[in-house]
Structure formats: structure tokens, C-alpha cells
Structure 1
Amino acid sequence: MATITSLGIGSGLDLNGLIDQLKDAERGKLEPIKRQQEQQQAKISAYGQLQTSLNSFQDAVGKLNDASLFQSLSTNVRGEGIAANATADALPGRYSVNVETLAKAGSLATTRVDSLDDVLTGENATLKLSFGAGTETSEAVINLEAGSTLADIRDQINADKQAGVTASIINDGTGYRLALNSKTTGADTSIQEIGFTGLAAGMTLASEGDTKRVGKDALLDVNGVTVTSPTNEVKGAIQGVTLTLEEEGSSSSVVVERDTLAVRDNVNGFVKAFNVLKTTIDKLTSFNGDSSTAGELLGDNTVRTIESRLRSVLGGGVAGGELSTLSQLGISLKRDGTLEIDDKKLSGLVAGDQTAISDFFAGSDKQGGLAGKLDTTLSQLQGNNGLMKSSISGAENRIESLNTRYERMEATIERTIGRYRTQFSQLDGMISQMNQVSSYLTQQFDALDYQLGRKK
């Protein structure tokens, strides 16, 4: 009997189609697992969105948990010629600043030499630089190598970090001069004189008086008080304020005041970040009755716990200070759970009593104010052993377990389909044999009828 190589050939039945239908029916057992996998993956993605909003809220909280924010000052310069920057040590006030002269660095050039190739130094050559103004002087000595040209001397000066000057070579159209510039401004660092010893025979190199530019201190007056400074960055003339002088002969007004804008911006940022968090939670826990669609975290215990703990801290306020609740700052809780700011009330408090606001948000230490309490709560919720991490880990573990179940179910289905294929193959062969027997018997009966017919 011929071997059947394809299902249905022997029997004439569509056994391959039947196998496919049975396989589809068996694989239907995988659909519930796939739906659970998708649900857990969607939950992990939703936790990620929630965590992003929590992180943004914690960043906004952290800015209010810094007492220096409420002590910050701003400077406003009216006029030209200076810039001003205040630190926490500054005191609010108004100052008139007139700049008479800017600080300048001194410079000096030597007598000229005819060629850059001329050897200028012999053995034990040195260069001595004198700095200062009047009788108050200082010196720097630079040892020079024998056989040095003007370019070599320039390089050796620039390589000496203690020289206090930078060196260059200038061609004045007749010859070459060594030009020295003080590294810093001010009269005390002005170059008074240069002196060479140990020059090569026949060589002279000395200060050229006509090329000397004396270094100067900056001269200004602040509210009528004369101030001198060796640099154009003047510190201490106004307490806690650094003045940067930019133009001689300029007059400006410097106003130092509390930086109310920074406080208002950060309080508004706090409210905005909380409202974004609340909107995210509402979206993830929503339910639409018309379409019967639900958010990925509807009924999730993690979200309920986070909301409950944050509401508890926000509603609890701070005890012991002039301000104890958010409503006293003009921040109220709306019916939809978001926060709303009364800008007029907040601006009045910021302008009049930043210390009270500082005590409310920042407190006397990092945990004392409302911001500190919120930061502690958020850190606990999102820490390595916190609720968010454990919830995400739980969903990931469930996905891993579902993956294992899926693989096992697939293997079971394949074995079942293989068993069906074997049984159908046997059935196909059996029907094929029966068909052959039937055909044989039909032929025999037909032959018998024929013989009987002839005998008649």
C-alpha cells in the first residue's frame, strides 16, 4: 500500500484545514495570558508617567526647601558704565556710583635691536623687573640662558609664572622692541623699570621711557565717598555687591532690593507641578462610562496611597509659625483637587514678609517646613524600598511569570496539535484502506454481474 505523505490525500477529507481550525482554537487559550501581559506592561508605563510627575513635583518642592531663596537679592542698574551683582550679604538700598577712571595695566618697551637673530645674552644673564608706584616697589628676577635672541628672551619671560608680565615683540618700523605688559591692572603692579645684566658684548637693552604706560587704579565715588580699586571688579565698596566698571566718566544708580520675582516664580512652579501631578493621576485612574474605557491605574492601591499621603501633608500645614496653612499664602484647594493661587495675596506677602514664607516652606531646618515634609514623603514613596519601586517590581515580576506561563502553554498546544496530526494521519490511512477495499469489492461485483449476464 502506498504511503500517505500529505493529510487528506488518502481520505479526500480537508484534514489540514481541520488541523488549522483546531490549532486556532487551542491557541485561543493564549489570549487571556496575552491580555494580562499587555495590562501589566501598560501598568508599568503608567507608573513611569506617575513617577515623572512625582519627580517634577519633588524638584519644585526642593527649590522652596532652601531658605536662601527667600534671602536672595537683585540689583537694578539705571545708567551705563557699570554692572552690579548682589550676594546674600548685601543690604537693600540705593547707591549713586560715578566712575572717574578705569583700572589699567602698565606696559613698557625696551630700546630696539636691529635683527631678531642677534645674540643678546652672555653667561649669567638676568632680567630684573621693578613694579609699583612711587617708593612702594617690588621686584622679580628672571634668569636668562646664554646665547638668547630677543625671541628667546620673550619665551623665557612668558614661561616664568612668577614674572608678573607677558612679553611680546613689536616691530616699530626701524627695529625690534621687547614689549612687557603687567598681567594685572593697578598702580602697584605697574612696571617701573627693567634692567638687564650679563648682556653679550656690544649689546644694550634697556627701558625706553617714551614707551612707558603707567598702570592705574580705578577711581570712583559711591554716594560721594571716594573709592580706589586696583581692578575694575570692585568688591566691598557696597556691602555684598560686586561692581564691574566698564566706562570712564559714567554715572549710574544701583538699587539693591529683595528678589520677590524669584520667590513668586518658585511658589507658582510648586503649584503648577502639583497640578500636573494631579492631572496625571486623574488620567491614569479615569473611567469613561460611554466607551467603557478605564485608565491603566484605575483602582490601583499605589495611586490611592500616594494621593492620601500628599493630601495629608498639604492639609496638615506647619505649626509654630506666623503662617501655618497654604490658604494663608493665597493657595487654595479647588473642588477638582488641584491648587489655585491668589496672585494678589501672594504678591503682598512676598513683598512684605518673606521671612514668614521662608519659615512656612523651608522652616528652621530641611525637615521643619512644609517643603521639607513633602520632600521627605516623596523620597519615602520613591526610594529604593519605597512604594513606587515595589509596585513597578511587582508588575515586572508578574510579566515574567506570565511569560513563563505563555511558553509552557505554547509547548502544550504544540504537543496537542502534534497528537491530533498523528491521529488524523492514522485516520487518513484507515479511510484510504477502506476506500481501496471498497473499490476492489465494487470491481469484483461488477465482474460477477458481467459473467452471470453472459451465461443467460
Structure 2
Amino acid sequence: MATISSLGIGSGLDLNGLLEQLESAERQQLTPIVAQQQSYQAKISAFGQLESALDSLRQAATELSEVDGFADVKSSLSGDGLSATVGDEAVVGSYEIDITQRARSYSIATLGVADKEGTLGAGTISFTLGNGDSFSVAVTENESSLEGIRDAINAADNGVVASIVNDGSAQPYRLVLSSAETGTEAAIASVDFGTGGLGDHLSLDAATEVSAQNAQLTVNGIDITSQGNRVEDAIQGVTLDLEETGSVSLEITRDTSAIEGKIKGFVSAYNNLQNTISSLTSYDQESGTAGVLIGNYTVQSVESRLRSTLTDVLTSSGAFKSLSDLGITLEVEGTLSLDEDALGDLVAEQLDDLTDFFAGVADEDGLADRLDTVLGAMLDDDGTLDSVTSGLESSIEMLQERYEDTEARIDSTIERYRTQFAELDSLIAQMNSTSTYLTQQFEALSAQLGQSD
């Protein structure tokens, strides 16, 4: 049977169009599979939103789970002479600070030479520091210019810094040697250029010596000496940077606003979580639109466990037993409301009791610790959310395999249709050809019969 390269050429029928319609109808089998995949993917995304909100709540609870979380302090300075940085270990107190002397580094210069690039001869320069450390710098003939000596000392990086100054005289170039740090321990106690070579051309100018000195100050009448102008141990948890001599008053007070902010942040994080859950499980009657996780058991379980933890009465020995004792109440719609005035009074007057409620007493867990345990079961690896999302991902993979199998079956069916249509097209073309031939023969016969008459 003759072959036809394009469907419909032989028969004159729109076989290509018919094949496309059949293929479109067959591919409708894929639509519910894709829809189910999209549904599962939407749920994974929704659980991602839920996880993010839960993680934010966990972080807010963590800030309340340690005693240090309620020890925030702030500082105020009056007077000039220093800046203060208050760390986590600082304690409340008032400090009168008198700075009588700032720390200073040591320096001394050599007598001048005429050419800073001219060689002075090989040698060894020996240094001894105020703390007893000593070191030597060897200088070769080729490196023995003033610039070469400077570079060799600086490359040694042993606590001495070298530079060159030009004093404008006939022999203007001087090598200046300075201690890298302030204080008497870092000071240069001695410099020896040796004899011969380098030692014949360089010597110290005693008139240029600037002696090192330590910082001296008093804190509430206590004398303090520091090798540097940054003083870290004079006041617990406070770093002082001395800028000039003078008197300064430092006041360290409890930062009640920061502590209140952490509790407000906890309430806000929980309410944001509730808003997220409401959004994912809501139903709009007007539009008929349902949340992605409406009726989902996992979400209901998460919400129930959290609500139970927050409303449980603590059995610890602390003064407060429940959030309501702090002015934090659970509303009908599931969010928390906070009495900010009541919280402010508690932070100001019962901070220790507030700390015990959230951070715990001795071996007894506080609310923040209990909440972290519950949230950990939800958020940690192999936890509630990890398990449910892993199950959804597995379902998507199975649907993808089903999609590919169905698509392969559809392709096979369409190819079978294509082959059958091609055969039909050839058959009709052959029949048309035979019909045309017979018609021509009958017409010729009729013509002959007519002539004979």
C-alpha cells in the first residue's frame, strides 16, 4: 500500500485536526494529577509560613528563658573624659571616675643622617622592652639605609614601630623608634646599635625621648592603673575608653524598657502566629475561598498544644503562676492581650518574680523553657512539621511518577492513532484512485456504445 507523508492528503479529510482533538482529550487524564501536585505544593508552602511564625515565637521565648535576659542595663555619663561601653555582665550602680593621667607610648629618635637612602653598614639592632622581652633585628649591608632599617624593624613586628622624620637640618633624616602600645610594660627600655658598621652611624638623641606612662584614674575613690587607655576591669562588665583627664559620673541602671520590649515581643510573636494560622485555615463565605490548611489536623494540634502550654498553671514555687498574673490574657479569638501598665509596674517592682516565672526557679522550668520544649517537638528535625512536609513531598514524587507513566501511555496511544489514520488515509486514497479509473472506463465504454448506434 502506498504511504502518505501528511495525514489527510490522500483522503481529503482533516485527520490532523482530529488527531489533535483526540490527543487533547487523552491529556485530560493529566489534569487531576497536576491539580493534586499543586495542592500538595501549596500545603508545603503554607506549612513553611507556619514554621516561620513558630520559629519567631521560639526565638522570642528564648530571650525570656535565661536569667540574663532580665538583666539588661543602660548607662548615662555626665562630664567629659571618657566613653563607656556596657556589656552583659554589668551591674546596676553609680560610679565617680577621676582621670588624672592617660596612658602614653614611648618614643625616641636617632641623630640625623644626610641621606635616608644611603647605606650605613651591616649590623644588628637589639631591643629590650619594659616587660623584659628582648629581640634583635639583623640588617645586611644592602638593607642598611635608614629606609631599609625602618622596614626591617617594622617587618619584625615585635612591639617596636619605626618611622623617619625630616627636621630640615643639614642632616635631616632621623629614625624614630616608638613602642607599638602604650604603658610602661610596652616601653622601649634600651636600644643597642652595636659597634662598627651600623653602630658607627646611628646613635640615639636623648633630648627626643618621650617616656611611656600608664593611665591613672580612680573609681569611687579606688586607685586604678592601666597600661592602656582602654580600661576593661575597673568596673564589672564595663569598658572605659579614656579620652582626656577630667571627672565623669557613670550611672548604670536597669533597662526596664528593654525587658518590657522582650515580653511585648513574645506577645507580638504569638499573636502573629495566631494571625498566620487564621489566614491559613479561614473560609470566606462571600467568595467561597478556603484557606490552604482549613481543617488540617496538624495545624489544629499545633494550636491546641500551644494554647494548653500558655494557659497551664505553673506548679513552681514562684510568685506568679500564670500569664494572667502578669496582665496577659488569652482572648476568645486566640490572641494574647497585654496590660502594658501592669507589666511596667511588675518590671519596676517585681522583676525577680517575673524572671522566675519565665526563666524558672532552681531546677524548675519556667514558662519559656516549657514553651521551648513544645516548640522543639514541632520544629526540630523529625518533628511534627518536618514529618508532615516530608510526607507531602513523597506524595508529590509519587504523583510525578504517575504523571510520567500516564503521559507515556498517552503518547503511545496517539502514535497508534497516527498509524491507523495514515493507513486509513492511504486506503481512501487508493479507493478514490480506483473509483476515478472505473469512472473513466465506464465513460469510455458509453462513448463507444453511442458511436455504434
Q: TM-score range by the shorter chain?
A: 0.7 to 0.9
| Residue 274 of structure 2 corresponds to residue 278 of structure 1 | yes
Q: CA deviation at 1:322?
A: 1.6
Residue in structure 2 matched with residue 28 of structure 1 by the alignment: 28
Instruction: Sort the Cα spacing of 1:127 and 1:25 in 2 relative to 1 into closer, same or farther, 3 A.
Output: closer
Instruction: Sort the Cα spacing of 1:280 and 1:91 in 2 relative to 1 into closer, same or farther, 3 A.
Output: closer
CA distance in 2, matches of 1:157, 1:451: 128
| Residue 358 of structure 2 corresponds to residue 361 of structure 1 | yes
- The match for 1:296 among 289, 292, 299 is 292
2:103, 2:183 within 8 Å by CA — same for their partners in 1? Answer: yes
Residue in structure 1 matched with residue 120 of structure 2 by the alignment: 119
Secondary structure at the residue paired with 1:210?
Answer: strand
Unpaired runs of 5+ residues, structure 2, are none
| Residue 174 of structure 2 corresponds to residue 177 of structure 1 | yes
CA distance in 2, matches of 1:9, 1:202: 109
When the two structures are superposed, what TM-score results if normalisation uses the length of structure 2? 0.85
Residue in structure 1 matched with residue 40 of structure 2 by the alignment: 40
1:366, 1:372 within 8 Å by CA — same for their partners in 2? Answer: no
Q: CA deviation at 1:254?
A: 0.4
Q: CA deviation at 1:400?
A: 1.4
Secondary structure at the residue paired with 2:200?
Answer: coil
Residue in structure 1 matched with residue 311 of structure 2 by the alignment: 315
Residue in structure 2 matched with residue 134 of structure 1 by the alignment: none
Residue in structure 1 matched with residue 302 of structure 2 by the alignment: 306
Secondary structure at the residue paired with 1:284?
Answer: helix
CA distance in 1, matches of 2:197, 2:439: 136
Unpaired runs of 5+ residues, structure 1, are 132-136
Q: How many residues align?
A: 447
Farther-moved stretch of structure 1 (432-441 vs 111-120): 432-441
Letter in 1 for 2:84: A
Partner deviation per Cα, 1:209-255 (whole Å, 9 max, x = no partner): 32122222223333445444332223443344332211223x32200
Q: CA deviation at 1:47?
A: 1.8
Instruction: Sort the Cα spacing of 1:226 and 1:426 in 2 relative to 1 into closer, same or farther, 3 A.
Output: closer
Q: CA deviation at 1:433?
A: 5.8
Q: CA deviation at 1:101?
A: 2.5
Q: CA deviation at 1:36?
A: 0.8
Letter in 1 for 2:163: S
1:126, 1:198 within 8 Å by CA — same for their partners in 2? Answer: no
When the two structures are superposed, what TM-score results if normalisation uses the length of structure 1? 0.85
| Residue 98 of structure 2 corresponds to residue 104 of structure 1 | no
- The match for 1:333 among 330, 333, 342 is 330
Letter in 1 for 2:31: E
Partner deviation per Cα, 1:98-131 (whole Å, 9 max, x = no partner): 3233221222223333444253566xx5545474
CA distance in 1, matches of 2:70, 2:204: 57
CA distance in 2, matches of 1:36, 1:390: 19
Secondary structure at the residue paired with 2:120?
Answer: coil
- The match for 2:136 among 119, 142, 147 is 142
1:187, 1:216 within 8 Å by CA — same for their partners in 2? Answer: yes
How do residues 56-455 of structure 1 correspond to structure 2 at under 5 angstroms? Answer: 56-116=56-116, 117-119=118-120, 127=126, 129=128, 131=130, 140=134, 142=136, 144-145=138-139, 147=141, 148-160=144-156, 162=158, 164-174=159-169, 175=171, 176-187=173-184, 189-191=186-188, 194-200=191-197, 203=200, 205-249=202-246, 251-320=247-316, 321-364=318-361, 368-428=365-425
Q: CA deviation at 1:13?
A: 3.8
